[in-house]
Chains A and B, each alone.
Chain A
Amino acid sequence: MNCEQYYELLTALADNELIAEEQHILDAHLNQCAHCSKLYEVELATKQLLRATLPPLKTPWKIRADIIEKTRIEAGTQTEQRFPFFTHWWKPSFAISGAVAVAAFVFFLLYNTEKTPQQTSEQKVVSYPAKETVTENISVPVATETKQTEKPKPKKKSLPPILNESMTEFDLFLQGKKKPEKLTSQRKELEQYLASRVNFPVRLPEMSDCELIGGIVSQFQNEQVAQVMYSHRGHNVALYQTTFNSFDELNLFFLPESAQTVLKKGNWYIDDSDSNCCIAMWIDKGVLYYAVSNADKQEVHQELFHGFKTINSAK
């Protein structure tokens, strides 16, 4: 055999696809041929260059969820979207309709504030805009002190006062068709409010660059979900807290196995493969925390990590 005949074998050698006999013959040749050894190096370098330039891609979360959902619908094991907010909530149409509805809500609040002089105490303005597509920030005045006049709600530990049985309610929440059950910028107040309505400890991280908007309790199948909305520099951050009887149920979130492994080990799972939003998940003491945001991913991650660190160190 001459060098030209060995040349094709070099490709297979770089791919580790030679049969034993070929390997033996080629090894012997490479030991005495500098020319072919160099060609082999080029072959390896080309493979490495391609791999480095075009690394394998990960399916974005919402694409994965959409596809699984469609097969489930086809199988008849699912009749409606389980987590529609994962796939739709950042869409501009929702964001715009949300902004319009929020504006109507603002008007409603302002109107009521004018009509009730006792509610003229200092109000904190929390920015509650939608996506980048909405150019104007819309401010939602949150009467912090006036909330003190509210009657304390009775504690319910069995089932939460669910707005409805479906998580599609969250879409309505974002569209402004349903206001947050509790509209407040006071962390402790919201924490207590939510804790009284779910049967697991609710923890709201204190995130330095995020303003609290409010919260809501909902239900997914048999699980209670506490949802908290923050605003981060004009973007939404939604933090959910829930429990699962078995972590196998994580499959319900369409999580890839790698993510489930990470979570079961007690680490954060971050999915920012989608250009529109990022999702951060974490399990602590049987409670699953997951945050969805269309804000800057790095900033939100930092905020979350810092917030939860504060909670944990305070315990």
Chain B
Amino acid sequence: MPAPVVGLRAAVREALRTKAGLFGFGMVGFLLALVIVVPVLAPYDVISSWGESERWSDNPYSAAPDWLDAFSATKAARTKIVEWNLLQGPTRDRVDRFTYSESNTTELFKIIQLRARWTFAYDGFPQEIRLQTLYWSTEQPVIAIEWTRPDDENVTIYQASPQRLGPNVETLSLSSMTQPFNVLSAVRQWAVGVGADPVPIEKVRPHIALFAEKGPGMMDPSRAKVLKGYYSMTITVFNAEPSDKMQARFTSFGTVFGIAGTDHLRRDLFIGLLWGAPVALAFGVAAAVITVMAQVILGALGAFYGGRTDEIIQRGTDFLIILPVLPILILIGQLYQISIVWTLLIVVMFNILGGTTKVIRTIALQVKEESYVETARSYGASRLRILFRYIMPRTMPYTFALLALSVPGFIFLEASLSFIGLGDPVLPTWGALMGDASRNGALYNGLWWWIAFPALGIVFTTIAFALLGYAFDKVLNPRLREE
């Protein structure tokens, strides 16, 4: 029979010799690296803004990962931003600028013109187009927005004197119904004029029509084809006061974004995924360590002191084993919005005694009967000393494998809670991402990455710890070793 492995270092070394141990350590190592790197790369203020929509407003919503179209013949649209001096919002390097010019300046008025020109070379249409303007004026100027296409078509999509002007950002979404009808009707009128089949006003999609090749299907998303080439947009302010200022930002949203896409609130899923790792790990490891240690100590204490203490611990263990944690967590989560720290506390409370307590108690009872313990007691060693120096080391092998194997269970508990939507309301955990995805029709709309990536994250972490625990199990349970 092979000799039992003693000591943590020896156990680790032995575990590394097995394939499972190697993989397990490797995977856990990777996760640990993530935990360290992520707070540096994506600092916490990114996360605290997980709940703020402002931070993410320049991303498309429910976008696919941008490397996906490497697998298909068509290239999907990417986000393009052109701005002039718009101070709000994050500054990006790849943002182009409008050209600004003023003309016909007299004492009483002037003409401001902002002009942008860019190439659109994608096979797919943008998700939507949006214009944000910031204008200071006391009078009511006339603003005209003109759209020029590669086929030299010029569309005046907007020409009016907007009512409320002041130092507020006006967002003109040029894609949706909630915007002034005159944009939609201007686009429709022009499109029909160049041969498009007519479409009811509420079905007009400027982000399709304005980019589509002329033809009968140009207003129909299923038939329209993209016209590639140079596009330009000109914003002209007539009757501007000499002191007026204008800023603008035009965004053409792509349909893909980033390494992992975005969710329904435009949040970068990659950041969510990255942050899922440290959160899951922190929760799982903290819960595992605290509960296993508590169970081991209490089990040993019960065995050692015997009598009433033992009885109480035993009854308590039986009770806590039977009590179901998840339903109660769900109940509490629904009624009170609990943060992940509270979830941790409740989970720990329910697991402070458990199956391990019984096993450790059995081991401790055996050790207690052995002669070297009697010897120690005979020379006056205190009970505590015996507990730590003799009983605990004997429980170490079992404990370590158990630690590794407990982590996944806790990660899943938290993920289950978050999936239902009752987890931490602020943090982007993997379970929360999956829950969001499932509730927002990820499966039905083919946005598989939204639900699959966090799921993969959970699976990866789980397997990492399972392999680790399995390797330790093999090492420390001599009968399972390969000899």
A and B together in one complex = no
Q: Write the residues of chain A forming the contact surface with B, with a CB cutoff of 8 angstroms.
A: none
